[in-house]
A and B are shown apart, each in its own frame.
Chain A
Amino acid sequence: MAAIEVKQLTKVFGSDPKRALQLLEEGWSKEKIYQETGMTVGVHQAEFSIREGEIFVIMGLSGSGKSTLVRLLNRLIEPTSGQVLFGDADVVRMNAEQLRTFRRKHMGMVFQKFALFPHRTVLGNVEYGLEVQGADKKKRQERAREALRMVGLEGWENSRPSQLSGGMQQRVGLARVLANDPEVLLMDEAFSALDPLIRKDMQHELLELQSKMKKTIVFITHDLDEALRIGDRIALMKDGKIVQIGTPEEILIQPADKYVERFVEDVDLSKVLTAAHVMIQPETISPERGPRTALQLMRDNGVSSLYVTDKEMKLLGVITADDASLALKYDKTILEVMQSKVPWVTPDTHLNELFETMAEAKVPVAVIDHRERLRGIVIKGAVLSALAGNAVPEGGSADGFAQAAAR
């Protein structure tokens, strides 16, 4: 279900936005409008829907309109035209009172430079949202303490924000939003002002919190690595327009245009793609079958090994052509000759963590999910092809994306 649906959202900064809208409709470019009229098109016809519980990343370089776009969602900046649908309500048409309620209950925001109130304590900052709602002191402090506990800042309640490090300050910023318990979090370059190491920690922690909270998060960033690491889906912006929306993999593998392609060309694909993306359908055999059948299957499919699985697709072992010949010669069963130690990885293993296992393995690496079922195998050709930026070959690709979406 969509948490937020954005339709034709446009923002023009300047003296006569109506005229700029007309010019845009006539096909004028952003530059031309600026040169002729002095008006700036911040966001042009943004259209997307954010699913409930996903991390939706809006990415772009500075000046691409991403910070404007996120402020249109809670109307810190008034949209020129378009709709922002939240449930049945259009945020753009709310009156002041409705908008206040919407901001208090449903949509919180975390800021790039933390924007903590310097004259209040950490606790005073975190309880602010509930305070303006008129919650009684005991209740709001209780919730604020709980939120601080969630972000690991227990014991800092009475400190001033200025006494905290950048990472800790942003935790306060996060706690301040969590205390309000809104459905949607807007995070405007929330980690951009932090040191790289702390930034990674925070990204990690956000993902961990998110696995418990299941909020809908709109995350703004200019950092592709960050977008790929935390985004369920990414919208790429350029010059106020959304150029492409898709999962990280879709954007990497099928860039919509030259701009996106250039944006992503330096990405280390091995850190982004996982075993699930490159695995292919394995040839399997049930343990009740004889070695002759095994050899026949290998010949028919042009492979030199088969994966032995039970009815639930649970992996029991692997049998090579040599093993099968041996079994035939000495009249043994598959179970007796197969190798029960099979190199394996989980579907979400990144390729860069998979290379070593592959190098040591004599048979293709098995991909096994958390219920110990065999999901696929990884062959060298598919990995190389994926790293070269090509779509993953036969069958594996569709399965891979389904995996990523289900993750």
Chain B
Amino acid sequence: MDLPKLPLGDGVEWLETWLTDHFGPFFDLIRIIIGSMTDGIERALLGVPALVLMVLIAALAYGIGKWKMAAFAFVGLFLIDNLGLWEPSMKSLALVLTASILSIAGGVPIGILCARSGKVRQTVTPILDFMQTMPAFVYLLPAVTFFSLGVVPGVIASIIFAIPPTIRLTNLGIRQVPSELVEAADAFGSTPAQKLFKLQLPLALPTIMAGINQTIMLSLSMVVISSMIGAQGVGALVYRAVTQAKTGIGFEAGIAIVIMAILLDRLTQNAFKRKHT
């Protein structure tokens, strides 16, 4: 017996058209906001001379970690500049930072809501599973339809891919606060907001930071994929090197991504540790 094929694909495409027709101005607004945000960050990064930014980042690394980290930051960034990859790297960094900031701004509150209500969590969890397992290429297409080519659909795709850890770990961190401490806060007549800001968030902070760290790493990993829909940056160089089989250029661009990844990882990991010891 042959069951007819479900028209799932047709349905999705119909929905896509419908959304474009009815929510066009809304998507335009989002595009303008994200676009100008990325643009602003990019201008700021490229606005100062490369050497000055290197020193600033190295100083930040010194403030957060040790001189070792500062040395690595300076040498690594110097290497990027030396390879002639400074501008594309900063463009990629702008994309990563935009996606990360928006992911954190959205992810932490959603995580808090999940922690407070079992129903919200039950609804959100499968959506997060879907977002993380659906191949990124698949939602790249509708992103292009809604936001046209360029950096904006790249940021959107990065957010979709990178936001789940922040949501999950914010939820987990808050739920892991020992129940007797929550009870104590209640017994002293704390309002829900006081309980959140004076007890739950401070104690959940290490876990939330681990989620944020993951989010940043994941959005960095989207750099190359985003370049397929027109996002500029080192990702685009890697993509071009692959299509043209140029191992050398590909490797150089890859190294730039690795250096940025290590820097972002160590900076976000240690930014918090320092405060608590």
CB distance from B88 to the nearest CB of A (A): 42
Q: Which of B183, B194, B198 contacts A76 (CB 8 A)?
A: B183
Q: In the complex, are the beta carbons of A115 and B181 less than 8 A apart?
A: yes
**Chain B hits for A115, CB < 8 A:** 178, 180-181, 183-184
Cβ of B186 < 8 Å from any Cβ of A? yes
The verdict on A103 contacting B189 (CB below 8 Å), with A111-B180, A111-B184 known, is yes
Q: A104 touches which one: B180, B188, B199 (CB < 8 A)?
A: B188
B188–A132 contact, CB under 8 A?
yes
Min distance, Cβ B206 to any Cβ of chain A, angstroms: 10
Question: Min CB distance, B118 to chain A, in Å?
Answer: 15
- In contact, A103 and B186 (Cβ under 8 angstroms): yes
For A118, what are the chain B residues with a Cβ–Cβ distance below 8 Å?
203
Q: Which of B164-209 contact A (CB under 8 A)?
A: 178, 180-181, 183-191, 194, 198-199, 202-203
- Which chain B residues border A100 with CB–CB below 8 Å? 189-191
Q: Are A76 and B187 in contact (CB under 8 A)?
A: yes
Do the beta carbons of A117 and B189 come within 8 Å of each other? no
Q: Are A117 and B181 in contact (CB under 8 A)?
A: yes
With CB as the reference atom, state the residue of chain A lying closest to B199. A117
B188 near A129: Cβ-Cβ < 8 Å: yes
Q: Interface size bucket, B side?
A: 10 to 19
Give the contacting residue for B189; candidates A104, A111, A113, A176; CB below 8 A. A104
Chain B residues with CB below 8 A from A112, complex form: 180
Contacts of B185 in A (CB 8 A): 128
Q: Within 8 Å of chain B (Cβ to Cβ): is A170?
A: no
Contact A74 B190 (CB under 8 A): no
**Cα–Cα distance between A103 and B190 once the two chains are bound (Å):** 9
Separation of A186 and B184 alpha carbons in the complex (Å): 12
Q: How far is the CA of A118 from the CA of B184 in the complex (A)?
A: 12
A129 touches B189 (CB 8 A): yes
**Known contacts A115-B180, A132-B194; is-contact A109 B189 (Cβ 8 Å):** no
Nearest-CB residue, chain A, relative to B181: A115
- Interface members, chain A 78-121 (any B CB < 8 Å): 99-104, 108-109, 111-113, 115-119
If the complex has contacts A118-B203, A119-B203, are A180 and B181 also in contact, measured as CB distance less than 8 A?
no
The answer to the question of A8 belonging to the interface, with a C-beta cut-off of 8 Å to chain B, is no
Give the CA-CA distance A109 to B182 in the complex, in Å: 13
- Which A171-205 residues have a C-beta within 8 angstroms of B? 176, 180, 186
Bound form: Cα–Cα A131–B195 in Å = 12
- Measured between alpha carbons, how far is A111 from B188 in the docked complex, in Å? 12
A133 contacts the other chain (CB 8 A): yes
Kindly supply a per-residue 1/0 record for chain A positions 124-135, scoring 1 wherever the CB is within 8 Å of any chain B CB and 0 otherwise: 000011011100
User: Do residues A113 and B180 form an inter-chain contact, with CB atoms below 8 A?
Assistant: yes
Determine the chain A residues whose CB is within 8 A of the CB of B202 once the complex forms. Answer: 119
- Residues A194-253 near B (CB distance < 8 A): none
For the complex, give the distance between the alpha carbons of A103 and B184 in Å.
Answer: 11
B188 close to A128 (CB less than 8 A): yes
Shortest CB distance A144–B (Å)? 13
Residue in chain B with minimal CB distance to A118:
B203
Please, which residues of chain A bring their CB within 8 A of the CB of B180?
111-113, 115
Instruction: Out of B178, B187, B191, B203, name the residue touching A109 (CB < 8 Å).
Output: B187
Please tell me if the beta carbons of A180 and B188 are within 8 angstroms of each other in the complex: yes
Q: How far is the CA of A131 from the CA of B189 in the complex (A)?
A: 10
Query: Is B203 a contact partner of A133 (Cβ separation < 8 A)?
Result: no
Interfacial chain B residues near A119, Cβ < 8 Å: 202-203
A104 to B198, CA, bound (A): 16
CA distance A103 to B188 in the complex (A): 6
Could you say which residues of chain A place their CB within 8 Å of the CB of B178? 115
Q: Complex: how many Å from CA A112 to CA B185?
A: 15
Chain B contacts for A133, CB-based, 8 A: 189
With both chains docked as a complex, state the minimum distance between the C-beta of B275 and any C-beta of chain A, in angstroms: 11
For B189, what are the chain A residues with a Cβ–Cβ distance below 8 Å?
99-104, 129, 132-133
B181: chain A residues at CB < 8 Å are 115, 117
Q: Which of B188, B191, B202 has the most CB of A within 10 A?
A: B188
Query: How far is B190's CA from A117's CA once the two chains are assembled, in angstroms?
Result: 14
Instruction: Write the chain A residue with the least CB distance to B205.
Output: A119
How many Å lie between the Cα of A129 and that of B184 in the bound state?
Answer: 10
Cβ distance A306 to chain B, nearest Cβ, rounded Å: 59
Query: Contacts A118-B203, A119-B202, A119-B203 given: A132-B190 contact, CB under 8 Å?
Result: yes
- Bound-state Cα–Cα, A115 to B177, Å: 11
Partner of B191 from A116, A117, A132, A176 at Cβ < 8 Å: A132
Q: Give chain B nearest CB distance to A352 CB in angstroms.
A: 38
Known: A117-B181, A119-B202, A132-B198. A76 touches B186 (CB 8 A): yes
B203:A103 contact, CB within 8 angstroms: no
Task: Say how far B195's CB is from chain A's closest CB, in angstroms.
Answer: 9
| Closest beta carbon of chain A to B272's beta carbon, Å | 13
Complex CA distance for A116 and B188, rounded to whole angstroms: 12
Q: Which residues of B contact A129 (CB under 8 A)?
A: 188-189
In Å, the complex CA distance between A11 and B127 comes to 37
CB contacts (< 8 Å) of A117 on chain B: these are 181, 184, 198-199
B186 / chain A contacts, CB cutoff of 8 Å: 76, 103
A sample of 22 cross-chain residue pairs with beta-carbon separation below 8 angstroms, ordered by A number, consists of A74-B187, A76-B183, A99-B189, A103-B186, A103-B187, A103-B189, A104-B188, A104-B189, A108-B188, A111-B184, A113-B180, A117-B181, A117-B184, A119-B202, A119-B203, A128-B188, A131-B198, A132-B188, A132-B189, A132-B191, A132-B198, A176-B188
Give me 9 other A-B pairs in contact (C-beta within 8 A), A115-B178, A118-B203, A132-B191 excluded: A74-B187, A76-B183, A104-B189, A108-B188, A109-B188, A116-B184, A132-B194, A132-B198, A180-B188
Q: A residues engaging B (CB < 8 A)?
A: 74, 76, 99-104, 108-109, 111-113, 115-119, 128-129, 131-133, 176, 180, 186
Please name the 4 residue pairs, one residue from A and one from B, whose CB atoms are nearest each other, closest first.
Answer: A104-B189, A103-B189, A115-B184, A109-B187
